[in-house]
């Protein structure tokens, strides 16, 4: 056997060895890429666990919105709050505004507006209370930025914020029968739909509709459920039935409606 023939055989063997090794590495890399793609694609889960997890997360977010508080006021059924003190507290605050309105228009002559808000009147002298009551009645009769500021000036010791007065005033407008007036009151304060909005104000708009009986809580929650799905990459804003919520979802740079579990739903 010649030397040249031996070298040719050796070179062929070496070439085959490396070709086989490189081919195996390529196949292994392709398998790894396929596995990674499967992990990144929720629909690839054979048991639907990813889909179920997304569904459950939306249900949890709906609960954090706490829209039942408006339903409690609308129906007068406090048992809906069960042992949820936050729910009861928020429902009572809305009812306090109704009480104050009755005191201002003379329907309830046994009380002054401040008497409707538990523990507030005791913080002020009788003279200051009268000033606050007058300012509050002006706010209820003619809600605006100026009348809100007049109340805040008197309530400086309580660290009250204008947004609290907007929420309360909007709820009162709804309970007087106009979801549109309630919505417009909030929109006039917050501005056009966009980044300055958020869960607090989206839920307040839902409250306008629930407090008038225009829409039941379940319908509002269904629309939020659809919106949360949009954020998860399923569905679109056009699937939201309520016109106002659909507009908010479609707004440029729309703020997320997702409430934070770590933050009380009444203060977001």
- Torsional class of 177: left (φ above 0), alpha (ψ -120 to 50), beta (otherwise): left
**First CA to last CA distance, the chain:** 89
Tokens of 185: 């009151």
Q: To the nearest whole number, what is the mean pLDDT of the chain?
A: 81
Alpha-carbon distance 222 to 243, whole Å?
A: 14
Digit-by-digit pLDDT tens for the chain (268 residues) are 444 444 443 344 334 333 343 344 333 334 433 332 332 233 334 444 444 567 788 999 999 999 999 999 999 998 899 889 999 999 999 999 999 999 999 888 889 999 999 888 888 999 999 999 999 999 999 999 999 999 999 887 777 899 999 999 999 999 999 999 999 999 999 999 999 999 999 999 999 999 999 999 999 999 999 999 999 998 899 999 999 999 999 999 999 999 976 444 444 4
Q: With the C-alpha atoms ordered 172, 67, 74, 102, is the resulting torsion angle positive or negative?
A: negative
Structure tokens at 142: 């003619």
C-alpha separations of 4 from 1, 14, 234 in Å: 9, 16, 67
Nearest by Cα to 66 from 210, 245, 227, 234: 210
**Residue 261 pLDDT:** 62
CB 184 within 8 A of CB 243: no
**For 105-122, what is each residue's pLDDT tens digit?**
988 888 999 999 988 888
């Amino acid at each position: 056997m010649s030397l040249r023939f031996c070298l040719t055989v050796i070179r062929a063997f070496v070439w085959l060895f490396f070709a086989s090794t490189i081919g195996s590495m390529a196949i292994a890399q392709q398998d790894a890429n396929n596995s990674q793609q499967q992990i990144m694609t929720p629909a690839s889960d054979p048991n639907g666990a990813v889909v179920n997890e997304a569904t459950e997360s939306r249900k949890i977010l709906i609960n954090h919105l706490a829209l039942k508080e408006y339903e409690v006021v609308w129906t007068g059924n406090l048992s809906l709050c069960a042992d949820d003190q936050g729910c009861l507290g928020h429902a009572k605050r809305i009812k306090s505004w109704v009480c104050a309105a009755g005191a201002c228009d003379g329907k309830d002559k046994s009380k002054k507006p401040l008497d409707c808000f538990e523990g507030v009147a005791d913080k002020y002298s009788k003279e200051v209370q009268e000033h606050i009551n007058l300012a509050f009645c002006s706010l209820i009769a003619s809600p605006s930025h100026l009348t809100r500021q007049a109340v805040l000036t008197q309530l400086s010791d309580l660290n009250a914020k204008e947004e609290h007065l907007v929420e309360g005033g909007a709820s009162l407008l709804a309970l007087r029968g106009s979801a549109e007036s309630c919505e417009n009151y909030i929109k006039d304060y917050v501005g056009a739909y966009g980044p300055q909005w958020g869960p607090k104000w989206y839920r307040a708009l839902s409250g306008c509709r629930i407090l008038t009986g225009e829409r039941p809580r379940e319908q509002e929650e269904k629309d939020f459920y659809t919106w949360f799905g949009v954020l998860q990459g399923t569905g679109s804003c056009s699937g939201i039935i309520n016109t106002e919520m659909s507009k908010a979802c479609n707004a440029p740079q729309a703020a997320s409606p997702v409430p934070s579990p770590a933050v009380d739903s009444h203060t977001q």
